[in-house]
Structure 1
């Protein structure tokens, strides 16, 4: 079983991005992101109701770090590190199976530039190299073509398709499960 130690949180850098700790100062940008209808189209969750909900979410993100059960970074452009444009992280960490699930969202203003591919690649590297995960899962709405393209670009392969396994907004939805195995040494 893995002995996960998420604190102190590593800051991740890519050529264009900084993945840093989410702080209370990010609450307004995170609220805008988590209430944007375009962002929520395929995330199959209700929008947040208030800034207080976001502040509580940031508290849960910190609790997950402290309990070594999940890590979520603010995604920011390198030239404007204070401005959150998205989030990316690993959650549902299962130490006994050396597995975690990747999750991400990005402001529509930043779509189409390959930024989330860059962020997600850094998070996967962290998962494999630092956390020593054996596999990373991606759970997506099968209609989310952009997310599926992103996962496949990173080398994820579809390993399952669940019919009507998720209930949201008054309907049963399907889920597609993708996974990426750690590179062989």
Structure 2
């Protein structure tokens, strides 16, 4: 098996019927802060909510570094004619050697239950398999996040593992569920 050659730059804009996925830019920091400081969004994220716009800028900067190193990308999710991001999605922790990446996503709670993340997920999976040549995508989910688990299962992801108390956060050990989806054959 050969090692993939991943080229993430320039980051393409992706579109679905109702969404536009574009590269994050520094002017997205206020909206990213709003998302990553919202208790509803962060409930199952198992990391500290953001408290400053500087933290959002640093995340955008680290995303730029991932893109430059061809190790990951995070698109800002926008409505078709809107400029402000309402969520993020993308493959990161790309392993070219193993043709695999981890997928992360979040969406503003006002838009939950409308099928928008499913649209974004379908398009990002298509891009990851067809354009990047990945063989599999995985998602690490808090077992209590039933909505995320349903989303993944609805879009062809299968539970591969359940790790007991493998993640330490906020003074307690938490479980993790790993889902994966293979590229279509």
TM class by shorter-chain length? over 0.9
Please report how far the alpha carbon of residue 156 of structure 1 lies from its aligned counterpart in structure 2 after TM superposition: 0.3
Aligned to 1:12: 14
- Cα distance in 1 for partners of 2:65, 2:101 equals 17
Please report how far the alpha carbon of residue 49 of structure 1 lies from its aligned counterpart in structure 2 after TM superposition: 2.5
Aligned to 1:70: 72
Please report how far the alpha carbon of residue 56 of structure 1 lies from its aligned counterpart in structure 2 after TM superposition: 1.0
Aligned to 1:45: 47
Deviations 1:98-141 (A, max 9, x none): 00011000000111101001001111101000000000001100
Aligned to 2:128: 127
- Cα distance in 2 for partners of 1:84, 1:10 equals 16
Q: Structure 1: where are the runs of 5+ without partners? A: none
- Cα distance in 2 for partners of 1:52, 1:157 equals 37
After TM superposition, the structure 1 = structure 2 runs for residues 1-185 of structure 1, keeping only pairs within 5 Å, are: 1-80=3-82, 82-184=83-185
Deviations 1:131-154 (A, max 9, x none): 000000011001000000000010
Deviations 1:10-34 (A, max 9, x none): 1100000000010111110000000
Q: Structure 2: where are the runs of 5+ without partners? A: none
What secondary structure is seen at the aligned counterpart in 2 of 1:89? strand
Please report how far the alpha carbon of residue 48 of structure 1 lies from its aligned counterpart in structure 2 after TM superposition: 1.3
- Cα distance in 2 for partners of 1:79, 1:127 equals 24
TM (norm. structure 1) is 0.98
- Cα distance in 2 for partners of 1:64, 1:51 equals 20
TM (norm. structure 2) is 0.98
- Cα distance in 1 for partners of 2:47, 2:111 equals 21
TM superposition outliers: structure 1 runs of 4+ over 3 Å? none
- Cα distance in 1 for partners of 2:183, 2:141 equals 20
Aligned length: 183
Deviations 1:13-66 (A, max 9, x none): 000000001011111000000000000110101011211111111111111101
